[in-house]
Amino acid sequence: MSITMPTAAVEGIQLTVTPFRSDAVIGTIGLPALLQLVPSPKLEEDKRAMKFSPGSMRRHAEIRSLVQRTLKATQKGRNVAGYARYIASGINGDFGSGWSTPPITLWLADEPGAVSEELIPGSGIRKITLLAGSPVVAIDGETQVTALHELYDDPEQYGTTYQKLGAVRLPFELYWGLSVEDARQIFYDRNVEGVPVAKNLAMSMDQRDFGTQLAHRIAEAVKVEHDGKMIPFSTLVQARKRQLTKTDPELITLSALRVLVITAIYGRTGLALSSATIRTTDLPTTTTAEQVERRLVPLLSTLLTHLYPQLVARTAASAPAVLAGIGIAAHQATDWATTGIPLTDTDLLDLLSGIRWEREARYWDGIAASANSVGVLNFGGGAKDSGGRVADAILYPDTESGSKIRGR
């Protein structure tokens, strides 16, 4: 006796999706299913491991190599562990709701095994089935996929559990029926066409960054008279842009204020850290977060109050390079400064009182800015390039640069 075999049975991973074009859909997927669909890129770059891997994985590795960068010995690869720690912390609830990972862009080199009718008429929502062994490659978000593999391989190393990881769902978009050339083009477009966010601006948006936290507290602590009203200085801080225009009502950018904070914490070494994320564990070894906040909030609040007229007049005092130099000088008035001449608050204000803040070449050319042939200043060099020279000019009034910014 024999039975007839099913003619329409399609086995594989089934996903509930919504199309946004005829060859692409969006949806969410459980972490175990994603890791089954997309093998570890790190493993696929291990030639020894690939030698003993199934043919389907070797085929996947070949297709991946056509559209992706390598991980080994690159910044992309070095980012994996940090990304895994970030995701684990988010899953564990350490960040509350304030964390996110971008949707993963997947490319199916074949066609879906099956596509259902609409589950809800008119909604577009369907189920698609991806056949076992179909090559699915992450053409954007591969570092995240690699980090997720690392997490799932050893969750205890990252302080999480299989139970928590099993409950994770990840947003994705999936393309199919594309040529290798089209997949490469999507990779290029996603990584090149977008305008990258400046690192220091991105840092100023990081609410877990200690420098950003302290900058916000200082801005709230300072009260100034503006247009006849007493307002918190924070209302005059531009948090969305890296640079101010003449028509902006704000007086300083958050990224520039953060540079002042970072250099006040670290002194000259803060120049190299102005674009780095600062956690409380990164503070100078002899300090605590409470100690730093207790000293710098009143100190920098006094400085901002002193500089407020210059900021209103949009003088050189608002330039990041100048603020960096002021921060380095302010560092000398902290309890944890280990080099340079110790300063009191009064000493620091005395050093600033005689400075000519006008944006004129005779004061700032070659120190915080460069002048063109007609004497117009450009402060575009930034804190890292010019902050040290500004600090020297502030701290040592009798030097050539110290005399120059004081108009002598």
Residue 27's domain spans which residues?
Answer: 12-194
189 and 217 housed in the same domain: no
Residue with tokens 């250099």: 263
Residue 7 falls inside a structural domain = no
Same domain for 151 and 225?
A: no
Specify the pTM: 0.70
Contact 23, 31 (CB under 8 A): no
For the stretch 213-238, pLDDT in tens is: 999 999 999 999 888 889 999 999 88
Q: Are residues 323 and 386 in the same domain?
A: yes
**Using one digit for the tens of pLDDT, what is the confidence trace for 107-150?**
998 889 889 999 999 999 999 999 887 889 999 999 999 999 99
Give the CA diameter of the chain.
Answer: 109
Whether residue 127 contacts residue 5, with contact meaning beta carbons closer than 8 Å, is answered with: no
Q: How many helices and strands in the chain, by DSSP H and E?
A: 17, 13
Residue at a domain's end among 151, 169, 194? 194
Rounded Cα distance, 349 and 371, in Å: 28
Q: Do 302 and 180 reside in the same domain of the chain?
A: no
177 and 243: one domain? no
How many alpha carbons fall within 13 Å on the CB side of residue 391? 25
270 and 332 share one domain: yes
Indicate whether 3 belongs to any domain: no
Cα gap 38→49, rounded to integer Å: 16
pLDDT at 46: 87
Closest Cα partner for 332 from 317, 318, 347?
347
The angle at the Cα of 301, spanning 229 to 295, to the nearest 5 degrees, equals: 150
Q: Which of 178, 194, 210 is the last residue of a domain?
A: 194
Would you say residue 1 lies in a domain?
A: no
**Structural domains in the chain (count):** 2
> How many CB atoms neighbour CB 190 within 10 A?
14
Q: State whether 280 and 394 are in the same domain.
A: yes
Together in a domain, 116 and 208: no
Question: Which residues, other chains included, contact 158 with Cβ-Cβ below 8 Å and sequence gap of 6+?
Answer: 84, 85, 88, 150, 151
- Let me know whether 26 and 140 are in one domain: yes
Q: Which residues of the chain have pLDDT under 70?
A: 1, 6-9, 195, 198-201, 203-205, 381
Do 125 and 229 share a structural domain?
no
- 302 in the same domain as 187: no
Nearest-angstrom CA–CA distance, 1 and 114: 31
Give the pLDDT confidence score for residue 199 in this predicted structure: 62
User: Helices 180-188 and 55-67 meet at what angle, rounded to 10?
Assistant: 50
pLDDT of residue 204: 63
Half-sphere exposure of 119 (CA within 13 A, CB side): 10
Contact predicate 187/140, CB 8 Å: yes
Last residue of a domain, one of 167, 194, 221: 194
Tokens of 23: 């060859």
